[in-house]
Amino acid sequence: MLAEVLIIVPAVSAFRLNWLSDRLAAARTAALVLDAAPEGMIPPQLTRELLGSVGAITVALKRDDTRRLLASTDMPPEVDHHADLRDVGAWQAVSDAVDTLLAHNGRTIRVVGTPPRGGGFVEIVIDETPLRKAMLRFTRNVLLISFIVTALTGALVYLGLAWMFVRPMRRLTRRMVAFRENPSLPGPELEPMERMDEIGQAEREFVTMQQQIADTLQQKTHLAALGLAVSKINHDLRNLLSSVQLISDRLADIDDPAVQRFTPKLEAALDRAIAYCEHTLAYGKAVEPTPQRRMVALAALIGEVRDTLGLGANEEDGVGWIESIEDGLKVDADPDQLFRILLNLCRNAMEALSARAPNDPKRDQIRITGRREGGTVVIEVADTGPGVPQRARAHLFEPFQGSARRGGTGLGLAIAAELMQAHGGDIQLVPGTIGATFQLRIPDRPVDLEAHRAQRSHG
């Protein structure tokens, strides 16, 4: 609106000046005729025709300090307004144009301009009504043209905005609504535009997010089905293990040194297997039993892991086993949970080494070290295998993500990390080593002085 005012007002003022200039030009021509004719020789009829062609009531000419009335009607009206076109400023022209538009019909104005032969001025008195009507028509036409141009411009801008911004945003919105209503179903393919603005980036990010969410939902669906299958297997497997435990109890009654030596280990393995079955779904509920911590001889616990894996028999072929544990080293941990951690790590190392069979004990080795650093026990499980692939390191301790071998579930390291966190410790892959080296750090429990004093007082 402001732009139209800034355009129309100067245009109307210029139209008024041109209209008056045209009347003055006609008056100059008439003044030449009237001035050249002898006085009294022009018939009244010709005078009226000249005034009618000019559209004036009177025509006067001033030259050499002499003002001469060249033509006039019988009874000239009183002049209501004066307009001097010899020196008109921009603001004066705009003010006069507005005054003409707001004036009433029938007003008489006196217009002064430059004479045809220089010197003095030529002057006409005219009725302002034709000028006002012409200015109103001109203003109406300009407004109409401005409206048409504005409408066309607005339509082009609207179509451009709709094509460039509204259309892709609607497409993206429809895809979001469809994905919200049923995220499990693959919606119509959304090919992101190759545009580098915010809309293009939003489309690319939405496609990436949609794919990630769809993969996550699919994984959750598979996990739910897996949990149902495991719960069924758990029920039947626990019954089978109970039967095997009864058989192991009968084996204990056989008077054979070899049987008597291996029966306790078999019973311990069966007890652990039954306990694992009872807590099979615990990980799926994100709950692990609270560690029942006590001081455990680390060498004995590692020996159980070695015997479970069937290593350390000093065979000429197979995987070599090396232990380096500080004498009398004890760790403040839950023995069953620490056994699970070490068994997972050693089994992973054994499977990695067995992949390049036949094995050589001097080349393919598993090495376990244990030492105390202040109030923390540090255990390292290392192997001389191919190591952990780079692609698996980013999600090494995440469930179903960090498997480093074909067919692996990725649960072993995730369970080990969770159990270590429950002990207040951590597990990490040591970089820059041959093969894979995992380091466990298990801190001792802080001493509760108040409970210690209370125990001593009761003792």
| Choice among 12-21, 242-251, 313-322, 352-361 with the minimum mean pLDDT | 242-251
Q: Is the pLDDT of residue 437 over 50?
A: yes
If you search the block for the tokens 């952990």, which residue do you land on? 388
DSSP codes, 100-131: HHHSPTT-EEEEEE--TTSSSEEEEEEEHHHH
pLDDT of residue 179: 80
Q: Is the pLDDT of residue 436 over 60?
A: yes
Q: Is the pLDDT of residue 440 over 90?
A: yes
Q: What percent of the chain has pLDDT over 90?
A: 18
Cβ neighbours around 191 below 10 Å, total: 8
pLDDT of residue 155: 93
Which residues lie across from 5 on neighbouring strands?
none
Average pLDDT in the chain: 78
Q: List, edge to edge, every strand of the sheet that includes 320-325.
A: 320-325, 365-373, 376-383, 437-443, 426-429
DSSP codes, 199-264: HHHHHHHHHHHHHHHHHHHHHHHHHHHHHHHHHHHHHHHHHHHHHHHHHHHHHTTS--HHHHHHHH
pLDDT of residue 74: 64
Asked if residues 14 and 93 have their Cβ atoms less than 8 Å apart, the reply is yes
pLDDT of residue 117: 59
pLDDT of residue 381: 95
pLDDT of residue 286: 46
Q: How many CA atoms within 13 Å lie on the side-chain side of 24?
A: 22
Provide φ and ψ at 122, rounded to 5°.
Answer: -110, 140
Cβ neighbours around 40 below 10 Å, total: 6
> What would the mean pLDDT of 349-372 be, rounded to a whole number?
87
For the chain, the domains span: 2-146, 288-456
Helices (H), 252-319: 257-278, 298-309
Provide φ and ψ at 378, rounded to 5°.
Answer: -110, 125
Confidence band (pLDDT; 50, 70, 90) for 317? low
Q: Is the pLDDT of residue 379 over 70?
A: yes
Asked if residues 441 and 376 have their Cβ atoms less than 8 Å apart, the reply is yes
* CATH superfamily of this structure's domain 288-456: Histidine kinase-like ATPase, C-terminal domain (3.30.565.10)
> What would the mean pLDDT of 136-140 be, rounded to a whole number?
90
Residue 452 vs residue 298, higher pLDDT: 298
pLDDT of residue 296: 95
| Choice among 26-40, 92-106, 202-216, 309-323 with the minimum mean pLDDT | 26-40
pLDDT of residue 92: 84
pLDDT of residue 157: 93
Residue 218: partners with Cβ closer than 8 Å, 6 or more residues away: 184
**Spatial distance between the Cα atoms of 331 and 340, rounded to a whole number of angstroms:** 15
Cβ neighbours around 83 below 10 Å, total: 23
**Spatial distance between the Cα atoms of 94 and 85, rounded to a whole number of angstroms:** 13
Which residues lie across from 330 on neighbouring strands?
297
> What would the mean pLDDT of 289-314 be, rounded to a whole number?
86
* Per-residue pLDDT tens over the stretch 107-127: 888 888 876 556 567 787 888
Here the tokens at position 260 are 């008597």
Q: Which of 54-63, 203-212, 387-396, 421-430 has the highest mean pLDDT?
A: 421-430
Q: Which of 22-36, 66-80, 231-245, 346-360 has the highest mean pLDDT?
A: 346-360
**Spatial distance between the Cα atoms of 171 and 190, rounded to a whole number of angstroms:** 9
Q: ω before 358 within 30° of 0 (cis)?
A: yes
